[in-house]
A and B are shown apart, each in its own frame.
Chain A
Amino acid sequence: MKKFEYVKPSTLEEMADILQQYGDGAKILNGGTDLLVRMRDNLIKPEVVVDIKGISEMKKLELTEEGLLIGAAVTMNEVICSNVVLEKYRILAEAAHEVGSYQLRNRATIAGNVCNASPSGDTIAPLYVLSAKVKIYSKDGIRVAPIEDFIRGVRKIDLKPAEIVMGILLPKIEGKNGGSYYKHARRKDVDLATVGAAAFCNEGRWKIAYAAVAPTILRGHKAEAILNDLKEINEDTLVPAMDAAASEISPISDVRAGREYRLDMIRISLKRSVLAALLQYQ
């Protein structure tokens, strides 16, 4: 790794000043599981690395009237073990559990997964179906951006210079609900999704999101429309929704799979995530 300066501010204000001063020359260090890989390969060569973990409010995991705030520095394993996540937003715990390995999950964060904005980010698809928002600090104030607006493309997020992601907000869910994330991958651990499907049902209304089949996570509006009209959901009645899933994605062929395989697998992933969501529905 090329030489750089390391700083660990203790307030958001301090951090914003540093980011302002260095501009593109500064990179935020959180879990480091994406940053260090890219720095080691010299894909990124920052002048200064700013460690966010010295700011105590980044570790907040807090349920309020509005919903759940997952602070930027809360690790994947902390999310997976959280009683409130397991009880109210189980799909996110499921998805976080699919990320990397146990060791990586002790360092990696949901916020980091979002800011990395990979097309196959496992925790991102559930965040779409949960209507998550990103809480952002700047010296001008705090703003909240819906996740689907925040992520603009491959590794592209709507974060202005000297803005800092404080955490992810999950809105309160009223009524009966259930969700599940199905990750189809070559290996059980330490693998990116070949395809993924997140399914969430709230009072009979479905939200579907696909991973690894487009430049960003994709909402499955066609599949949702079909699911919302179904009187009964089973392997047979799901077929039109499965076909819809394949028709509304634009996968590529890459080292993990061919395009045709992804088109086939999204059908199965949609089915499995919907059926699993129903098992959670209460």
Chain B
Amino acid sequence: MKHDISFTINGEQVHLEVEPNKTLLKMLREDLNLTGAKEGCGAGECGSCTVIVDGKAVNSCMMLAVEANGKDIITVEGLAKNGVLDPLQETFIKNAALQCGYCTPGMLMSAKALLMRNPNPSEDDIKEAIGGNLCRCTGYKMKIDAIKEAAGQIN
């Protein structure tokens, strides 16, 4: 039986009908065409599906779509505003913090959620925030540098 749900996505109000056995990740990708979030493992272990729900970074493969009802969701597609990149997106590019790009939407959202709750994170805070985001290409150092630089810019 489909459920009617309403929620905000990247600032826009959305109404959808979803089956309970669909994850938030699948709904974002298939019903809303927001393909930034990726299914790396589908089991909450790699973080490539990370989005922000009510200000908190979550693995969207570990939430049911019906649970989005009444929530405020931000995905990577919502980071740039009017064509202007988010400071995190700028510093990721500048610091070569991505190669294949597969981990990157999830990584950006973990970083964004961090800076939303802690504008001046330590290196340990950064490592804690992205500890659940796996990257096979970069070795993580450039990502940590990029996040530090973005935090510095915002302050």
Contacts and interface: CB of A to CB of B under 8 A. Distances in A.
Interface of A: 1-6, 29, 31-33, 36-37, 40, 49, 51, 53, 77, 100-104, 106-107, 188-190
Contacts of B50: 103
B132 A102 contact: yes
Given A37-B43, A103-B57, A107-B59, 16 more contacts: A1-B23, A4-B20, A5-B20, A36-B23, A36-B63, A37-B44, A40-B43, A49-B64, A100-B44, A101-B131, A101-B132, A102-B110, A102-B130, A103-B58, A106-B58, A107-B58
Contacts, number: 81
21 contacts: A3-B20, A3-B21, A6-B3, A29-B64, A31-B62, A36-B63, A37-B62, A40-B42, A49-B64, A51-B67, A77-B56, A101-B131, A101-B132, A102-B131, A103-B50, A103-B59, A106-B56, A188-B131, A189-B132, A190-B45, A190-B132
* Interface class of chain B by DSSP: mixed
B129 interface: yes
Contacts of A53: 67
B1 interface: yes
Nearest to A77: B56
A53 B21 CA distance: 18
Contacts of B129: 102
Closest 6 CB pairs of A and B: A101-B132, A189-B131, A6-B20, A1-B21, A106-B56, A103-B59
B128 interface: yes
Contacts of A40: 42-43
B47 A49 contact: no
Nearest to A39: B21
Contacts of A102: 57, 110, 128-132
Which of B3, B57, B62, B132 has most A Cβ within 10 Å?
B62
Contacts of B135: none
Contacts of A106: 56-58
Interface of B: 1, 3, 19-21, 23, 42-45, 47, 50, 56-59, 61-64, 66-67, 110, 128-133
Contact of B131 (A4, A77, A190): A190
A33 B64 CA distance: 11
B131 A104 contact: no
A40 to B, nearest CB: 6
A88 B21 CA distance: 41
Nearest to B20: A6
B110 A33 contact: no
A23 to B, nearest CB: 19
A104 B44 contact: yes
Contacts of B44: 33, 36-37, 100-101, 103-104
A184 B44 CA distance: 21
Which of A3, A31, A49, A190 has most B Cβ within 10 Å?
A190
B55 to A, nearest CB: 10
Which of A2, A31, A37 has most B Cβ within 10 Å?
A37
Contacts of A32: 62-64, 67
A53 to B, nearest CB: 8
Contacts of B63: 32, 36, 107
A104 B132 contact: yes
Which of B42, B43, B58, B129 has most A Cβ within 10 Å?
B58
B43 A103 contact: no
Nearest to B1: A5
Nearest to A3: B21
B146 to A, nearest CB: 18
